[in-house]
Structure formats: C-alpha cells, structure tokens
Structure 1
Amino acid sequence: MTIYLWIIVFLAQSSRAIPGLRFTKNPANLTVTQGNMVRLGCSIEGLSEPEIVWMKDGEKLYSTDQMYIPLEQHHWETFHSVKSVQQQDAGKYWCEVEFRGSTISSEPAWITVEGVPHFTLEPQDIATIPGVPFNLTCTAVGPPGPVEVLWWLGGVQEGDVTSSPSVLHVNGVNNSIKFYCEAKNARGISVSRTGTVHIKVLPAAPKGVQVVHMVEDNVTLDWSPGFTGHSDLSACTIQMSKNSGRKVEVRDQRVKVPPFQQILSGLSCYSNYSVRVCCDNEVGTSPFSGWLDFQTPEAVPSAAPRNLTFELTEQQLSLNWASLDDKELQGKLMAYKVQWNLGGEGQEALLFKENMAHLSGGGRFFNATFQVSACTVAGCGPWSQPVLVMPASAVAAQTQRGHMWVGLLLGLLVATMVGLLLTVLVHRRGKETQFGSVFKPPGTESTVSFTAARSFNRTCSELPESTLDSLGINDDLKAKLQDVLIPERLLTLGHILGKADINSSCDIEQCLKEAAYMKDFHHPNVIQLIGVSLHRRPQQRLPIPMVILPFMKHGDLHTFLLMSRLGDEPFTVSLQMLIQFMLDIARGMEYLSNKSIIHRDLAARNCMLSENLTVCVADFGLSKKIYSGDYYRQGSVSKLPVKWIALESLADNVYTTQSDVWAFGVTMWEIMARGQTPYPGVENSEIYEYLIKGERLKQPPDCQDDIYEIMHSCWSPVPKCRPSFQHLIDQLEGLWASLSSGPSFMKEALLYVNLESDEGEPGALGPGEDPLWSAMPWQCVGMEEDEKDWLMVSSGAALAIGGDYRYIIGPNCNCTEEEGGRQGTSMDTLQQEVRDEEYEDTIINV
C-alpha cells in the first residue's frame, strides 16, 4: 500500500512538472468473464503527435494495431484491446507519455477475469514408505470465489469438499497409486494434473562402473546410479579385492554421493584388482554391481639391486647381483642397466636381460666403478652402491695398507691432541698485542690487548664474496631469494649453461625475478629451483647470477623431437608417448595458471625432458605474476616468439592464461609434427595477416582428427572461447585412456646387449588422413556482440563484405570507444625480423 501511494504522489508531481500536458481520460476498472473481449482507453491533451505507451504490471505492452484518434487539436485518444481475455491478462494497466525527458502517467486501472478456477499449486508426485502417513496439497483461485476442492485417490473420491487451499491427509498406502483434485466455483470445474504416490523400495545395482583415470598407485573410479527406488541415494560402498594367485580381500570403502566418483589410492603398482559398487537409500542397500577387473600401470622400481659382486680375470669381468622381488620391481622387468666410471669419466651404459653380465677384456676395467639399476617400462630405479673393480691381490694389499694407515692416523690423532693441550696452556699465560702472543713479563705494569680485525695478503688478491645486499635490488626480491642463495664457495662449477651478458643491476634483477617465480613452484611438470648463486668475476663490479636447476638428461623437447626424425639414428616415438608429453605440459600450465602466472613463451624448446621422459615446463624469462585482474599488458619493446603468440596479443599486447592456451595449441602442433617449425612457408612479418584472415596451422600428416580438433580449439579468435587447461587435461586423458588398451610403450629406448632374439621394435604410427579445415568458425555460449564481430573478421566472411577491422588499426590511430574503435598494433610495427632454425621471433614495439 505504501508503494502504491508513492507512485500516485510521483505521478502527480510528474504531471505538475509539465504545464498544459495532462490525461483527460484514464482507463477504468473492469471485471470480465474469461473468453470475452475487453477494451481500455485513455486520452491526453497538450501534444501535437504524442506516443502513448500502455503498461501492464510495470512492463510495456507492444501492439501492432494500436490506433490514435484525434479528438481536437493537441488532444488524442488511444485504446488497448484483448479479444479473448484469459487469466494471464488480469492485472494493473495504465498509460505513459514521455516528453522532454520526463514521463507522465495516467491513473491505473485493474482488469479482473472471472472464469473457472485455475490452479496456483497442483498436486506433485511424492514417494513414501509403505504404511507411513503423508499429506497432499492443492490450491486454486477465482474469481469468482469461493473455490471448493474435491480429492480423488486411486479413482475413488476421498473425503468431503473443502475450501481452497486444501490439504488431504492420507494414513498411508502399500502400493503405488494415482491422485488428482477438482476445483469448483460459480463458473465451472477445473481438474488438476494427475500425481503419483510412489512406494520407496531398495535401489537397483549401480551401472557403468569404469576406471576413468589411472596413475601408478591410484585410480579414479566412476559409476552411474541405477534405479534409485524413488529415494535419494546417500552413500555407496566400494568393495575391492587384489588378485595375487587368489583373491585377497581389501577393506570396503564407503563414500558419500553424489558425485558418483572416487579416487582409490594406496594401490600397488602393476597389480591386478577387482572392484564392485553398491549404493544405499533410506530403505536399504542395493545389490552389488558386477566385478570390474583392472591392472594398475607400471612404475619405476622402488629399490636398487643388492649384493653387486664381481670376478675379474685377464679375459673378462663377470658381474652378479640379486634380483628384485615383485613388490620392489613394481612392473615387468625390461632390463638391468649397468653404468660404469673409469678415471673420473662416465662410460656408455649397458643393458642386460638377466641379473648378471659378462664383459670381455677384463684388464680394461681395472680401477673402474660399477653400479646397476633395474628398469621397467616406466623407467629405471635407484642405483646400487658403487663397486670398485680390483684384482684380488690388490684388494689384499689394500687391506694391509689400510691397517697401516689406521695405526698411523691413530698416532697422528694422539700427537694432535697433545699439541692442542700445550697450545691452550701457553695461551693461558700469554697476552695479546698488535704483533702477536708473548709471555707475560715480570712486574705489575698494565698491558693493553688488541686483536686484528682482518689480515691481508699483498701478494694475492682474493675476490670478495657477493651478497644480495651488494646488488642494489629491491628489498622484496632480496627477502624472497635470501633462503635459496647458495654461496659460490660451496659449488664446483663445470660448464655454465645460458647467457652471461650481465651489464647492469637491472639485468641482474631481471634474472633474479625469474628465479623468484620458480622458487615457489612445486609440481612434477614444472621445473623446480634448486638455488641461486652469484658468480664473482675478476675486474668486474657486478657478479653473474646463476640459477641452479635440476639436470634434465634428455634436454629440451624440441631437440628430442627433431632427433627422433632427423638424427643420425632416428627412432619412433609412439602416439601414446606424444599425448603423454602434451598431458605433462597441460598439467604444468594448469598449475602455473592457478598460481596467477602467465608464461608468455610456451613452446617445445622451453619444455625439458627428465631421465624418465617426464616433461617439465621451463624458461620463465618472459613470465609475469598477475596480482590483480586476469591479464597483463606488455608495455615495452620485447623480443617475442611471433609464431606462438595469440592473435589478441599481437593486436593489443595483452597476455592472459587464454593466450598461453593458444601457445599450448601451437606446442601440440610441434609435438605431432615432430619438431617442425610452425607455419612453414609463412614469414614472421606475415603471421598477423595470415591469422586475421582465419587461417590456422594445418593438420600434420600423422595427426588424428580428434587430436587436431583439440589443438584447433586453442586458436579461437575469442579468448574466452578457448578451453581451459583443466578442460584440455580432461580431453587428453580421455585420448590417452583410449590408447592404453593397446600395446604397452617404453618411456626410454633401451639397447639390449648380449641378447639373441629378444629385440623388439616399437610399432610405427599409422598414416593420418588429409588435413582438415584451412579455417574453422568458432562459437561459444555467452559471446558479446564485439566478439561476434571478431569472429566474422577471422572467419574470412568480412573480407568479402567489408567487415570490422578494429584489430588492424595503424599505430597512430586514437579511436574513441564511441567510434567503435580499439587501439591495436598494425603489421607495420613488426620490425627487425630475427630468424633462427629453432627459435623464430620478432621485435614488437608495444
């Protein structure tokens, strides 16, 4: 009521605000029978050509047949008609006119529709336990009133006529039954929908039990509920058994549902399991599903071979070691790997099928050290303790010399202790001067003690140790790196990898910022920082910051792919392994995106391969930490890899996680093309024009359609239409799982020695189909209008009809948003092309 009075006051004020403009006729309240015609009218005076708008319950009514009748000069009348009025036409109506920014309104009127009752609350299906009472509710309204309700249960009238709203109390039923209600007023009778009383029963067994994801020691189990028994499922029980000759029961695991999915952890690697599921509702427990059998994947052996012994003769060296048991092996033994070191230099590793090795030419192994490791398809395990190969006579002589040295060391230790005792006694009688220690002279004369703070050697200049305080970097960066700084004196430097063109404190700070990003990374697919050290240089004021990283045996992924195709000894990399590379990169990038890190230089050359061929995302020289918002705008001249950069980044220098997804798609293309340079035949200076026309990387010859579809989805011109890294992980895991039922693959090419007929060769990939889609339209839900324009340009349609070229504006354009423009970067600004076989990039003025 308060709101209505406020509206009336407001309307009166609005009318007074415009002298000479007034409604001379207002719509009248009407009560009409359902199905009849109704007509409302209003007149306004004071305008030559008014536009009168009809309103209903606060919403405009749009009519194509509204007519205006001139009553006299500056005086007009209009009507609103409904030919067959229904209940939904009931409500409050009024007229409005806008004039010089103000709105005046007529008095409101109400249309009341009389007819048979209509239901505002119809009976709904319910589920109940047999014999338990329950209530049913039905509400119907007029006008006209009153409205009476009659219930029908199982085809039989139940109870007497009651007023609406009506509640029927049922003492309980034992079987499923139908029901409905009738509503009656002076105009007639209406019948509600028919509802059903379901009897709650035990649920049916779950269905579709499957393993959707599997790693070394855990699997993700997924299932669908069967018939729920007309009652919500509350929990499910997973029963699992391990098959090792006989079924060994593992304790049941109970989980709440939904979701109907559970991770089973703590499993043994390379083991057979069976699993089944049952679920509960409030009535009881369903039957179990059928047993699902699965085998966990192989893992790297958990232990090193023990008892490594040798026998050395002039003709050969024989090595023996103990085999690993199945629990330690964690897979099927592929080979034992033997590595040896002679004169401080590592020699080529050898692989053997059995737990013994016979190497000819025993003399050449004198003073060599040997270690052995067991290898499965997942990789090689830890190394055994090194064994030094020596003749038996040398071992005996060494033992005798050992006893002699023990006696000599004991004597030296006693002499040292006596010397230290005498030194302490002398110092207790001495005094400190600036020239050293002397005995105290007789007499009571006072003396002054002095200890030199520093000693100097004028014949040899020693470089002072560098610290973070001496670099002039900001305090936040200094504090973040303090606990990972490794003094140079603790390092033994070999060949230093990377650039050393450090000329200023700014160069040092930029290098250390990259290290600061990496300090907090803890993920198996992201390179992890070991530490930072400052390398001192003679005659140089500034040190070289060194970022110390784990050793990556197989180098970068790009070189690995090139060697598989163009190396001196080409080798085949299975499709499953290539997808595993993609999965590793996607998991690493998903981790970085969750930490608000934008990489900006994702490519195969910046992904490293560890000893077991796990991919780690590396090289964070262009990465940025985003502290607010979700994008980073480049603001200086930078050297960037054009062929990996997203379209919007080339246009506006804006970088987001979605632009990293674009680069991931290009990296997928590199992997499937075995290290080829993207966009063969397209120059760096032509990339932007190539992409804006809707062109994309073509499907590699041996690339399956479903893999190409995934990478192609990463190149949508609208960033938010690209998949997230988590979605990419899900898609790639599905592809990997579809291949896991095929032949097993090896993560390392093993060369077998002294084997006769056990050599195998991995299967080659089958030929792919012809490339698809030179250009593909992209669509996604929730696109804005300007993004649809973006799509039109990219798809090539705008090239024929003269579309929106907002992203191809010259560098001096200062369009305003009202003009529909957007400042961007033209291809004229792509200057100074720097070409290299492995890394093609361009200087972009941003």
Structure 2
Amino acid sequence: MLLMFLLYASRTQGLKFTKNPVNLTVTQGNMVRLGCAVEGLIEPEIVWMKDGEKLYSMDQMYITIDTHHWETYHSVKSVQQQDAGKYWCEVEHHGTVISSEPGWITVEGVPHFTSEPHDIATFPGAPFNLTCEAVGPPEPVQVLWWVGGVQEGDFQPSPSVLTVKGVNTSIKYYCEAKNARGISVSRTGTVYIKVLPDSPKDIQIDQLSDNVTLMWSPGFTGYSDLSTCTIQMFKNSRRKVKLPDQQVTVPPFKHMIGGLSSHSNYSFQICCSNEVGSSPFSPWMNFQTPEAVPSAAPKNLSFHLTEQQLSLTWSALEEEELNGRLLAYKLQWNVGGEVQEPLLFRENFAHVSGGARFFNATFQVSACTVVGCGPLSQPVLIRPASVVQAQSPRGHMWVGLLFGLLVATVLGLLLIVLAHRRSKESQFGSAFKSSGMESVVSFTAARSFNRQGSELPEHTLDSLGINDDLKTKLRDVLIPERLLTLGHMLGKGEFGSVREAFLKMEDSSVQKVAVKVLKTDINSSSDIEQCLKEAAHMKDFNHPNVIQLIGVSMHRRPQQRLPIPMVILPFMKHGDLHTFLLLSRLGDEPFNLSLQTLVQFMLDVARGMEYLGSKNIIHRDLAARNCMLNENMTVCVADFGLSKKIYSGDYYRQGSVSKLPVKWIALESLADNVYTTQSDVWAFGVTMWEIMARGQTPYPGVENSEVYEYLIKGERLKQPPDCPDDICWSPVPKCRPSFQQLVAQLEGLWSGISPAATKEPLLYVNMEDGEGELNSGLGATANTPSAYDPHLGVLWQCADMEQDEKDWLVVSSGAALAIGGDYRYIIGPCGLTDQESRQSDDGLSGDIRDDDEDVIINV
C-alpha cells in the first residue's frame, strides 16, 4: 500500500488544479460557465465530468496561462433542469487520473416534473390513484389537478396523490405545478377503461421439418396487458382429430409446436386473454407438414423362384410410416458379394424374368418418397425349392460344406450391403435405373429445409402505434438501424438529443449525418408520434435553405414494447446559427463577420421560409438557434418540432397547453394563440435582429413573463442602424410584408453592399426609463426613430387597415393603458429585482447571456 502511494505521489508531483468549479445557483434559461485550471503539463487533455459521466463538447475552450499552466471552461448557453448536478475536471498523466474539487449547478426556474401523468387503465367504476410530483428550486412547489377538464380541489403540496372514486368512460387528466417562478403544466395522461382484447392478427407459419413455429401480432389489447394466448389445433386425416389446447405465455407472440406427423394437414386458431377475459378466436388457418423419408422398412418379404422368373411380395407401409407420397419401392440385391443396380416398383410386389440368374442372390426392400428412401428390410436369400428337395443323404457332407460357405458368403454380402447403404442411401437426390424391361423411376429432392431459428424481425413503423397517415408518409424513408453507427452527442433538448453518426450507403460508402434520438425514458406512442411528425414535415422538402430529411430509423430496446425513433438529417459542419454568432464575438478567437455575410444569412432564412410558405407550412419556432450552417456557410431552416401544415384557410389555432418561445412569438399569437405566415414574419424579424446583434438575446433586461406587457405598450426591439422600419413587428398581421417581399428587399440590399462594409455594431442594454439609454450602434440614434415614438404617432399602419384594428392599435400603443393589458396569457411572475435579473454568472454580465427560456402559455 505504501509503495502504491509513493508511486502515485511520484507520478503526480508538481501536477495540480489551480482553479476548481464553483457552486452556482442559476435561473432556468440563463447562461452558465464553469472553469478549471491545471498546472504541471505542457498540453493537458482536461476532461469535464458531470455526475460521474464524461461530457462531450464541440466548443471546449483552452486558455494558455503559461507553458505549463492551462485553463478551460464548460459553458451551457441555456440552462435547463437536466443540467443541474455535480461537475468536476479530470486529467490523466502516465495512467494516473487526478480530479479537481467538484462544483454544483443548482437550477432555479418553473417547477420540474419528476413524476407526471401517464396513460393508465382501470375497470369500470373501480377507484384508482393519480400521482404528480414536481420540484424546484425554488421551493415550495404546489400541485393543482385537472381531471376531465374540471379542476379538482385547490393547490396542494407536491408530491400529490389524487384518489378518483371511479369512472365509466375514458377521460384525460393533467396537473399544474406552481412555485415562485411560475407554473409548469404536465403532459396529459388518459385513463382508459379495460375491455376484452381483439383477435390476434398477422399470423405467420414457419415450417421446419416436423416442427412448426406460429407467430402472430396482438390485436387491440383492451388497455390491459395480454397474459396468455390459447392455440386450438386439429389434425385433418381420414377423420378430424382434435389435439390438446396449448396455453402460451406472452410475450413473445410466437410458439413452436413439435411432434407433428410428416405430410399431414393441420388447422389451428388463436385467441388471447387479458385481465377482463379472452378475445374471439382468429380465423382458422391451415398448413401441411413437409414430407420425410419413411420411418419403417416393409415387412414380410417373401419370394417364389422358377427358371423363368422371380416373384417377390412384401407388406405395404401404413400412412403414418410412409411420411409422404409413395414414389417407389426399391429392391436392393447382390450376387456373390457384388452389389447390383437396384430395381424400382410402384406396387408391393415384383415379377422379374430370368429366375435362374437370381440363384443365391440376397434381396432387401425399402420404400421411397420424394425426399428419400427409408430403411431396408431384413435380407432374404433366394434358393429354389427344387434344389433343397434334391439334396440326398449322400450329399450331407457337401451340404454342410456348402452351408458353411453360404454363411460366410451371406456375412460378406451383409457387410457389403451395410457399407453400400451408408454410402448411397443418404444420397436422396440420385436417379434410379432398372435392368431389363422393368420400368424406370427417377426423382430429385424437392427442397431443403433450414433447421435454424429465424432472426427476430426488425422493428417497423407498424410497431409504434402511430396513425396510418403518418406511417404511410414515412414508410419509404425507413432505414435499418444496422446501417447507423452513432457517435458523440452534438446537443440535447427536452425530448431527446442530437448525435453525430455515420450512415452506410447502398454502395458501401459511409456518409456523416446527424441523428435526432428521442429520450429513452419516453414510452408513449403519442410522444413518439409527435417526434415523427417533424420528420413527416421534412420528407418532401427540397430547397437549399431548408434542411432535408435523409430517413427515419428505429432503435430496438431489449424488453421494451416500443423502439426509439431516430430522425436522420444531414450533418451541419458549423452547427446552429445562434452558437456560430456567439462564437464570432465571445469565442477564444473572435472573428469578423461582414455586413454582407450577415445579410446573406438573413436572405438564406427568408428564402427557406418563403419555400415553407409555398408548402402551407407554418414554422412557429423560427429563431437563430433553429437555423443550421453547412460547410458552405449556407443557412438552412431546421427544427420543425412545432410546425403545422394548414390545409384550409391561412391560420392555425393552438389548442392545448404548450411550451413556447415567447420572445420570438407575435403579439396576436401571445394574445389569442393564432398562428399564420404573418406570425412567422414576426419571428423572422426577431431572427434578423439576432443576426445583426451577433447572437445577443432579444429584449435584454426584459423577463419572459414581462414580454407581453412590454409589447402591448408599443415597445419593440431597438432597431439596428441602416435597417428599414421594423414593419415585421406591426401589431396588425396583414400590415407585415410577405416573405416574397422580404426576399426581394434583402436581395436588393445584399447586391448593394460592398464586401468591405464590415462596420461592427456594438452591444447595448435596454434601460427601463428611456433616459440615458446605452446606445452604441444597435439602438436608435438621434436621427433614427425608435420602434415607438409618441411624437411621431403610431407606426406600422397600412392603407387597408380597418377602424377596429386602428382602435386596437391605439390601445396596444399605450394610449389607453388604463385597461392594464391582458394578463390572462402570462403565468408565472418572475419575482426578481432588476439587479437579480441582471446578475452575473461566473463573470458574464447579464446583457450577453443566452436567456431564451421557454415560458408556459395557458391557452
């Protein structure tokens, strides 16, 4: 032990961490950065660890303090509850790992559900319990139940257990969790009533010789797990014979039946049972077992020999012994130890001319089917009766001698026959020929049988429980999982992660791709369906500025009912646009982005959105974080998780509780949850602001819960210089330009900008009081009107505006603030002072943090 300690000390001498992660308490959605510094190595490989697992990062930064002293940081641009935990650094040197002191990240925000509603099933009228648990920080957290659209009681401490006395029809339920930061709404669960299951379906038969494997899929399970299935079977021979019922424990939904007779007809039907009872039986299905070689040799072989012919007879085989259709009886014979050509006959007797030539010959007979010949009968020696009767007493000595010779000959012949049987009887595919005038019968083996078990079938879209329309859309883009090799994680979100991967193509080449993988703890068909809807939207996209779908794959999980869907997308070398913009000003090596490049980014996004509009697609989540940069620096619109296809009219109304990015949402969408192409134009205006601000968070200093009040007063994002009026943010949707108009304007602007125009706009901070605003290039100047100026009147008006729209515009502009704004749509007072909302995290000031937290909108 002492020697090991001395060895460890010698290896780590002079190697130490000079900076360790600190404990941080962060508001959900804010940026956080942890730092580590190590001294004693020239070029150390510093690995970040979280809760015992290695963190993979594409943008880990190293800072050289001196030759043997290095510092690195780990950043999270938008902290979520899953980022909370214990962090530390590790360095390996000569096979020894040293670790820094740990630091903890505690995330404050709206409550986070640790146990939320899920689909359950119960008997009619039977009482049951529902459980909901959510945690902070901050604490305490209270829970409110909604069952069947009706509020159950009042808020109560988390965790909460609600006892329901019983229901007779299916109902939906969810819970709300409230703390000082706001309210979170859980997923919606359904309480189903257990009923009888439906009949099994998709029945398949896999025949392996006399063993048969039956496979089937369960029908509707009646909202209760199937426990057993019953197989009823009949053998259809001369008379129908019922076989014993077979009880099968499921899953898996397959069963092998052995001991069946060859070349026999069988019929069967299957039913399955759950807690309620048994399903109806499936329709009768028939199968026939394959033929086999006969199992027995013909008996009672006898002969009659004359000088003219040899007559042989034997007993025919029974049907159970034959194991197939009789092809022929084969007579195997030899003379003097020499094996002769076999003779084939269709009946159980034979007449062969030239009887004398068979004297002292040995005969055996076997039955043959198309598969082969069965065992040979006992040998019979051919000797004429006249020869036996002609024997005299004087010839007894000769008889004894001849008998001895005969016995030796017979033994020799038997050995030859046995050797010939071993070498030839197994060759079932050869042709048989006869000598003389006898008939000739030839045959070959009908088919071969694989006696190995079949592989488990690959998961298909049919196994996911999603609707038929979605299955039809995705069926031709399904890619087998075996062609994918997953690599390290590129990013993660609420419903899963994005991983680097390699896809094997048909020509055996390998393509680098990105794969969106649903979280492994999601087991609901509805969650899986929501994930695949994004892929369905992308299937028919074909535009250079819209990310295209490569395919969809299913990750099989052992002992799990549902696979995990994986959406396969092109690999984007430069990642998302928001991170790229942040790196241009905050990375280790900041780089310059010309004004022409920034306008080109906007033009790419506008062209992609124009294309989506032509496909009747409303994006609903357009932002720089949802735009990707490929290797050619071309921007592609991506992330269609909130997208909706509109089939009639020109709007979509959100009809459920959703988590939405409020700082990018149009005013009318916040108020009434109505989404149109014009609301996407509003989000595009915010995205252009992000691009010009190099990734800065919109509305700096304005909390998410305050955005609606901020906008309804007439406030807007401060206009960057050289930009047209902020018509994208008109409170009247039809007064906003179309994406076609925006593309035309941006094309004209781009062509008129010199590549040398590289003026760098600076950051600014919103000030609530209008006086002393820090204007450094992105805000309004003395010669540029702000988004709202009471001295200039109301902006954003258009010629065909109705009077009621103008009246509403005046109210929203601040002329009638006595109504106090419509606060129905904003839940969750932040409860922070201005100083707290702008507090620094590890040295980063509040005006440059990534504060794109989603807020719950109650619709």
TM bin (shorter chain): 0.3 to 0.5
TM superposition score normalised by structure 1: 0.43
